[in-house]
Structure 1
Amino acid sequence: MWKFILRRFLVMIPQLFLLSLIVFMMAKAMPGDALSGQELNPKANPAELERIREELGLNDPWYQQYARWAGNAVQGDFGISYTHKTPVMDVIEDRLWNTVFLALVTLIFTYMLAIPLGILSGRYNDTWIDKSVTGYSYLGFGTPIFIFALIMLFIFGFALDWFPSGGSVDSKVEEGTFAYVVSKINHLILPALSTALIATTSTIQYLRNEIIDNKIKDFVRTARSKGVPESNVYSRHILRNSFLPIAAFLGYEITGLIGGSVIIETIFSYPGLGQLFLSSVSLRDFSVVTAIVMMTGFATLLGTLLSDIILSAVDPRIRIE
């Protein structure tokens, strides 16, 4: 197992290099630069803007800019945000934990809903329970997340006023207090639940199909022929094997929620990485854009590794060496 993990980390090095090159070139291909917007200001001095460009190295050849950026990025330095006038990592750090907390709460809600529904649908397939759960899954598959999130925001954020309609914490509470923690959780529930109700549909279908397939396998028939109680057949034989694909996708689920939070954070005005990414693109803040994409790409590679490790840990018969 340790040899496999080491090999995977070594393979990640050229993958990260290629990702960084693609991200940097795509950022440079965007029209204009961080100072382009200031040129529209009638009070702006073109000579002064050109001097700043030269000072920041924006006029250097792309390969020199990439080498300078990549060398600093390896050390954890992604430069200075042109918009916020502070180090990029300081800007990202303020938003990173908000996105991480949102992803974790969403994941908890997703599995709290998906696992019981998937088990019920698979165990009692072709019954009214299965048809109800399957109908919910099809409805979730066909509903765009941004439309569903807007409906949830209107109903529970504005009409019923059960949850805050934006932000990550109440500005009136003091940081570090119990009221601050309660406010944080209260701001997380609505966006996390809105995402989970849509994201849960794929997990339900995976689990349902695995249970139905495993119910007719030879090892299940053998267990029943030996007189094993039906509850033990489901818990030790059917469910254990049915959870393998769910466990394998755990790493992808975590990184996917972190990287795919742009829509939810924008709709709920939640100050996370997704909202920061959109605003940085519109403001041509290349330093922040490239840093966020690189961090998301690195998290995706780690999620892939985590999924393989979890899969081999859940089933001792599977050992990736």
Structure 2
Amino acid sequence: MWKFIIRRTLIMIPQLFILSILIFILAKGMPGDALTGRAANPKADPKQTEAIREKMGLNDPAYVQYVRWMKNALHGDFGISYTQQIPVKDVIGEKISNTVLLSFSILIVTYILAIPLGVISGRWNDTWADRLVTGYNYLGFATPLFIFAIVMLFIFGFYLNLFPTGGSIDPTIDNGTFAYYISKINHLVLPTLSGALISTVGISQYLRSEIIDTKVKDFVRTAKSKGVPESRIYARHILRNSFLPIAAFLGYELTNLISGSVFLESIFSYPGLGQLFIKSIMQRDYSVVTALIMMTSFATLIGTLLSDIILSIVDPRIRIE
């Protein structure tokens, strides 16, 4: 196991290097820069704008800018935000806790809902319960996340007025108080449910298919022929084997939630990395954009490694060396 982890960690180094080059090329290939809006302003002094661009190093050759950016990034310095004039790590640090909290909340609620639904649908397939679950799954597959989130916002936020429609906390409440944490949870409910109710459909449907396929395999038939109780067959054979792919997907789900928070954070005005990413692109704040993409890429590689480790732990028969 440790050999596998070390080997995969070493492989991640050239992968991150290649990703950094691609990310930098894409960022530089986008039209304009952080001073484009200033240059378009008729009141702005072109000479002053050019002097600022020179000071920021935006006129340097691309390879010089990349080496400088990469050297600083290795020391945890992603530069200065062009628009906010503060270090990028400070800009991201203000938002990352909200995104992580939202992503983990969605993940927990998703598995709490998806596992029972998948087990019920797979164990008692072709019954009314299975039809209800599969009907919900098909409806969820056909519904885009942003449409579902808007409907949730309208019904529970504006029409019923049960939950806040934006933000992550009531600004009038003092930090650290009991009311503060209640407000934090209250603002988290709608985006969490919107993401979880859509994420549930894929996991529950996949688990249903795995259970149905496993039920007809030879080792299950052998156990039944020996008179093993059905509950024991499900607990020790069917469910254990059916959960393997679901457990392996856990690492990927973590990264998908973090990278897929753009829609939810935009719709619910939730101050996280997704909303910051869109805002930075609109403002051409490429130092923030490249830092966010690098973080997401690194999280994806970590998620892949985590999925392999989880799979080997869940199934002792699998030995990754």
**TM bin (shorter chain):** over 0.9
C-alpha offsets along residues 211-239 of structure 1, whole Å, 9 cap, x if unaligned?
00111111112222222211111111110
Residue type at the aligned position of 1:80: I
Determine the structure 2 residue equivalent to 1:21.
21
- Mind listing any 5+ residue stretches in structure 1 that lack a counterpart? none
1:67 aligns with 2:67: yes
Which sits farther off after the overlay, 172-181 or 305-314?
A: 172-181
C-alpha offsets along residues 169-207 of structure 1, whole Å, 9 cap, x if unaligned?
110111111111111111111001001111111101110
C-alpha offsets along residues 235-255 of structure 1, whole Å, 9 cap, x if unaligned?
111101110000000000011
C-alpha offsets along residues 253-306 of structure 1, whole Å, 9 cap, x if unaligned?
011000111011000000000000000000000000000000000000000000
**Alpha-carbon distance in structure 1 between the residues aligned to 2:225 and 2:97:** 52
Q: What's the RMSD between the two structures over aligned residues? A: 0.8
Instruction: Compute the displacement of 1:58 (Å).
Output: 0.4
**Alpha-carbon distance in structure 2 between the residues aligned to 1:227 and 1:269:** 57
What SS class does the counterpart of residue 293 from structure 2 fall into? helix
Percent of aligned positions with the same letter in both sequences? 69
Instruction: Compute the displacement of 1:129 (Å).
Output: 1.1
Determine the structure 2 residue equivalent to 1:39.
39
1:303 aligns with 2:321: no
Return the TM-score normalized by structure 1.
Answer: 0.99
Return the TM-score normalized by structure 2.
Answer: 0.99
Within-5 A mapping of 1:1-321:
1-321=1-321
Residue type at the aligned position of 2:278: L
**Alpha-carbon distance in structure 2 between the residues aligned to 1:216 and 1:7:** 38
**Alpha-carbon distance in structure 2 between the residues aligned to 1:188 and 1:200:** 18
Which sits farther off after the overlay, 201-210 or 216-225?
A: 216-225
Instruction: Compute the displacement of 1:40 (Å).
Output: 2.4
Which sits farther off after the overlay, 242-251 or 183-192?
A: 183-192
**Alpha-carbon distance in structure 1 between the residues aligned to 2:216 and 2:112:** 27
**Alpha-carbon distance in structure 2 between the residues aligned to 1:15 and 1:177:** 44
Residue type at the aligned position of 1:166: G
Which sits farther off after the overlay, 77-86 or 226-235?
A: 226-235
Residue type at the aligned position of 1:251: G
- Mind listing any 5+ residue stretches in structure 2 that lack a counterpart? none
**Alpha-carbon distance in structure 2 between the residues aligned to 1:114 and 1:212:** 16
What SS class does the counterpart of residue 243 from structure 1 fall into? helix
What SS class does the counterpart of residue 48 from structure 1 fall into? helix
Residue type at the aligned position of 1:40: A
C-alpha offsets along residues 13-59 of structure 1, whole Å, 9 cap, x if unaligned?
11101111111111111111101111122321111111111111100
Residue type at the aligned position of 1:72: N
Aligned residues: 321
**Alpha-carbon distance in structure 1 between the residues aligned to 2:187 and 2:232:** 41
**Alpha-carbon distance in structure 2 between the residues aligned to 1:40 and 1:56:** 18
What SS class does the counterpart of residue 317 from structure 1 fall into? coil
**Alpha-carbon distance in structure 2 between the residues aligned to 1:207 and 1:166:** 34
